[in-house]
Amino acid sequence: MKKIIVTGGSGFIGSNLVNFLIKKNYYVINLDKLTYSANKYKNKLLNNKNYKLIKVDIINKKKITQIINKYKPKVIFNLAAETHVDRSIDGPKNFIHTNINGTFSLLESLRFLQKKKITPKLVHVSTDEVYGDIQEGVRSDENHRYEPSSPYSASKASADHLVKSYIRTYKLNAVISNCCNNYGPYQFPEKLIPKMISNIFNNKELPIYAKGINSREWIHVEDHCSALFKLYLKGTNGESYNVGSGINLRNIDLVKKILKIFNIMKIKIGNKTKIKFVKDRPGHDLRYALNNKKIYRQFKWKPKIKFEKGLRDTIIWYLNNKKFFKGISKKSYEKRLGLKL
């Protein structure tokens, strides 16, 4: 059985990717530090014979090297990252530690193991935020220059550049993916969609930055997983690939769409559940939008899940899995920039 390592496999995208790969009959080794946002709700995976969870910080080069040497995976998906922009503004340190130093540590492990002829492919997972603010009418392709605005996006841009440098200098076998906003089951409720759903369930206000005109592109996490798998199978060494849906929505329109779905499904909405505009966060990019023609042109990949159906199914999943929210400690949260739970 082919072995795959997923770093950050207990996070939102990572846990969905782990499940995706196990269904395809791979043996998956999940390397995760198990921070506040780790998905402890998928405990059923722990009993799966094709799954191994190892608690480890990606910055621990010695242990990471030992693990790769032991399992000799065909590919490593690097999803170990701090991802929430607000938290990066409050305190960038953890983002530098994991996103930059952690990626450096992983790259050094792979460079060392090259000498032992252990050369797994690296799929380094990044974000559309590295491109910065994108003007209306434009969609950033893979040649668009990097202009990160937040400590989070700057840390991811730095990691991308490190990967590119190791590809060129040390002939590392790696590809980079830059994906738009994900949504779907098991997402930690500090992110927009699950936060709105959680607040509706609990009859709370729906906080939106500024006037809600910031536009984001949305893709279902299952589609993202299928794209990452395609890059493992067919991605060209040294190349970057945008993974997007072409579906952009302003934040205010997205929240209204969520409320509309609740109404259509005849789910009661409390009298305190109203949209509330809060003070904008510093350096807030207005619009992200990806040109994903490259991945379609080369591999015929495109997302399959229609946004309206995916959003409705996501709401239904949270409706049927309210324990997911209850299982998250309030201590996991910090009051920040107008966001309160």
**Which pair of structure tokens corresponds to residue 338?**
């107008």
Compute the distance between CA of residue 18 and CA of residue 282 in angstroms, rounded to an integer: 34
List of E strands, the chain: 3-7, 27-32, 51-55, 75-78, 121-127, 174-179, 181-183, 206-209, 215-220, 240-243, 248-250, 275-278
Active-site residue (options: 32, 86, 129, 223): 129
Burial class (CB in 10 A: 0-12, 13-18, 19+), 271: exposed
Q: Is the dihedral of CA 78, 79, 84, 85 positive or negative?
A: positive
In sequence order, the 6+-apart residues with CB closer than 8 A to the CB of 304 are: 223, 226
Cα 57 to Cα 6, 87, 98, 295, 326: the distances in Å are: 13, 19, 8, 31, 27
Active-site residue (options: 26, 27, 71, 152): 152
Is 152 assigned a catalytic role? yes
Active-site residue (options: 32, 128, 190, 285): 128
CA angle centred on 337, ends 331 and 341, rounded to 5° = 40
In sequence order, the 6+-apart residues with CB closer than 8 A to the CB of 217 are: 128, 180, 181, 244, 245, 246, 247, 248, 288, 289, 290
Q: Catalytic amino acids?
A: 128-129, 152
